[in-house]
Structure 1
Amino acid sequence: MTSAARPVLIVAEQLDAAADMVVDQLNQRDIPVIRFDAAVFPQQLTLTAGHGSTELGWTGVLDDGHRTARLEDVRAVYWRRPGRSAIADTVPEPYATWAQNQADAALLNLLAALPGVRWINNPHHDRIAAHKPQQLTTATHCGLRVPRSLITNDPKAAQAFAKQIDAPIICKPILGGRLPVEEGRSLMVATHYVNAKEFDDSIRTTAHYFQEAIDKAYEVRLVAVGDQVFGGTLHTTSERARTDWRTDYKHIEYGTTSVPDHIIYGVRRFLAYYGIVFGSFDFAVTPDDEWVFFENNPAGTWAWVENRTGLPIAAAHADYLQGDTE
């Protein structure tokens, strides 16, 4: 099979703007694409893979009923927040959960075992790269400035940290995600300012993640894809948005910025440390033009950055997934 005919697998939810944009870019390049959500496996997607005693890799077929891909021909996988495998309702518990775990492991681990396949990103690496406490350590080793931070369930330690900082501090989740409030509704726990005078034994309820509040001229959603780096700026015009821009999209003005060389170098080192090629990084830029790293989401959103700024992020994904076409 010629290189141009080797397919790219896009594994994403059906309604995903980023996946749509990457598919469009690959179609423009005449690169075959097979897109599916992992949630359709095993009921609507058939996987058959074999490995001989002397073969170098798995061979077989993925078939969604409309298109097929030979595993040995796959050139790249874009693993973009797919759902979990869905087991037929006729399977009772605990067997349904067991079967779901089997299906999840089979699909992901077989694809991960294919030799020479490019990934954005391999989820095995993503899981480690998403750990926020380790991110601060890694970012510091990579030459990036980070906020002074404390994780604790001890109110006295939190009070001592606030006294040491002697400036406003914020509290943020250690682990992302939303709280299910009621059926059909969820609640995002946003970054928020805290008053050290109000610290009490309620801090012992769980681990709290405190940071010094960084004085921001603006924020940057920095998107890195392979060797390409894009800086989308967020100038906030309300106090809510300045604290956590995700809580007040109406008061954000979007733009672009060039990324300083030392930040590009640090971001590339950061990605290399985790063995990933994509990241959505959050930075603050201070009034003194110093960049401060907050966190990286290895499966973060970026379609809104391209849509509001015109930065060619989808094309950068296609560049990487296409790879060598010779």
Structure 2
Amino acid sequence: MAVLVVTSLHDVTADLVITALNERGVPVVRVDPADIVPTDAGSDALSFAAQIGGAGDRWAGVLRTASRVLEVEQIRSVYHRRPGPWRFAHPDRRVREFAAREARHGLAGLLNHLPVLHVNPPKATAWAEYKPAQLQTAAQTGFTVPATLITNDLRAARTFIREHHPVVYKSFRGAPPSDGRTGAIWTQRVDPADLDESVAVTAHLYQQELDKSGDARITVVGRRVFASLIETPDGLLDWRSGDWDELTCTSLELPDGLADMLCTYLDRFGLVFGCFDFAVDRRTGHLIFIECNPNGQWAFLPDADAIADAFATLLQAG
């Protein structure tokens, strides 16, 4: 019984989990659905065949990568990380789009719906990535949530900024990928004078800026909780925008009951893993909810090896 890791070839975070599984003697197969398109003469292409019906009530078949052959029914769990983008290169745009849709619904649809443990289930991840759902679920779970406005109305935006000054702007998904690289738009302060009628073009998220002494990154895997305090040398508004080598990450003790609240939040989305971000209030030390990334990064944290071991424990159990 093998663990299937769905990700691209270059994924440091997945590498840590795969290493932890290898140390336990658990078979692991790494698959990138994008490899369905050959990269050269066809030797590296991913092929698959799966069948259901007749006497069977679940998919049976085989996945073949450049180095592995895996029977679908021998998969004990699936770790979903960051598969690469589809690489269909037909000159006709409609053909490329058709091929990508068919691959997504066929191959990815097969892998995403196997009746095994998924970390995380892709449909749960998709739901949990919506910032409005995150903030509402966090507030209903009992976390403190900053005053937040989502709008495309210029007057509403200016009024909110005046009433809750200082205010920051955050994008919902960041900049679109370019040349295969992910873009980012960092958290930034806004002033009513900065805004114009272009606000009406799309949705914007404005949030009351917090006077914080640092940030907390709390990683939950199953029921294991790992908390780190993140500080920057110059007190950046968004610690992700600076030099990660200059970050100071230290262990953080959580207040009583918070771990249970984190697990409750994940349960409400059907998640088994999540990376939570909190701001640490400078005056009170209280943790204020910012977001939860259902497929967040944790390899840079001092607890990375322990987190990888927690993933291995979860995936091995299946």
User: Do both share a fold (TM > 0.5)?
Assistant: yes
Deviations 1:101-153 (A, max 9, x none): 111221222123322x1111121211111000111001111111111100112
**Equivalent residue letter for 2:112:** A
Is the Cα contact below 8 Å between 2:77 and 2:117 reproduced in 1? Answer: yes
Distance 1:186 1:300 in 2: 14
Aligned residues: 310
- 1:189 deviation in Å? 1.2
CA distance 1:247–1:108, shift in 2 (3 Å): same
Task: Identify the residue that residue 124 of structure 1 maps to in structure 2.
Answer: 123
Distance 2:175 2:70 in 1: 33
- 1:86 deviation in Å? 3.2
Task: Identify the residue that residue 169 of structure 1 maps to in structure 2.
Answer: 167
Task: Identify the residue that residue 109 of structure 2 maps to in structure 1.
Answer: 109
- Stretches of structure 2 that go unaligned for 5 or more consecutive residues are 39-44
Distance 1:194 1:90 in 2: 44
**Equivalent residue letter for 2:169:** C
- RMSD of Structure 2 on Structure 1 (CA): 2.0
Task: Identify the residue that residue 206 of structure 2 maps to in structure 1.
Answer: 210
TM-score by length of 2: 0.91
Is the Cα contact below 8 Å between 1:238 and 1:251 reproduced in 2? Answer: no
Task: Identify the residue that residue 41 of structure 2 maps to in structure 1.
Answer: none
Distance 1:237 1:319 in 2: 36
3-state SS in 1 of match to 2:168: strand
146-155 or 190-199, which moves further after superposition?
190-199
Is the Cα contact below 8 Å between 1:153 and 1:203 reproduced in 2? Answer: yes
**Equivalent residue letter for 1:247:** S
Map 1:222-237 onto structure 2 (within 5 A).
222-237=218-233
Kindly indicate whether residue 265 of structure 2 is the aligned counterpart of residue 270 of structure 1: yes
Kindly indicate whether residue 83 of structure 2 is the aligned counterpart of residue 82 of structure 1: yes
CA distance 1:266–1:176, shift in 2 (3 Å): farther
Is the Cα contact below 8 Å between 2:129 and 2:293 reproduced in 1? Answer: yes
Distance 1:279 1:152 in 2: 27
Task: Identify the residue that residue 299 of structure 1 maps to in structure 2.
Answer: 295
3-state SS in 2 of match to 1:301: coil
Task: Identify the residue that residue 316 of structure 2 maps to in structure 1.
Answer: 322
- Stretches of structure 1 that go unaligned for 5 or more consecutive residues are 1-5
- 1:203 deviation in Å? 2.5
**Equivalent residue letter for 1:127:** A
- Percent identity, aligned pairs only? 35
Deviations 1:228-268 (A, max 9, x none): 111121112214x2x11111125521111122233212211
3-state SS in 2 of match to 1:48: strand
Distance 2:300 2:210 in 1: 24
TM-score by length of 1: 0.89
- 1:159 deviation in Å? 2.2
Task: Identify the residue that residue 72 of structure 2 maps to in structure 1.
Answer: 71
CA distance 1:96–1:204, shift in 2 (3 Å): closer
Distance 1:233 1:317 in 2: 21
- 1:311 deviation in Å? 5.7
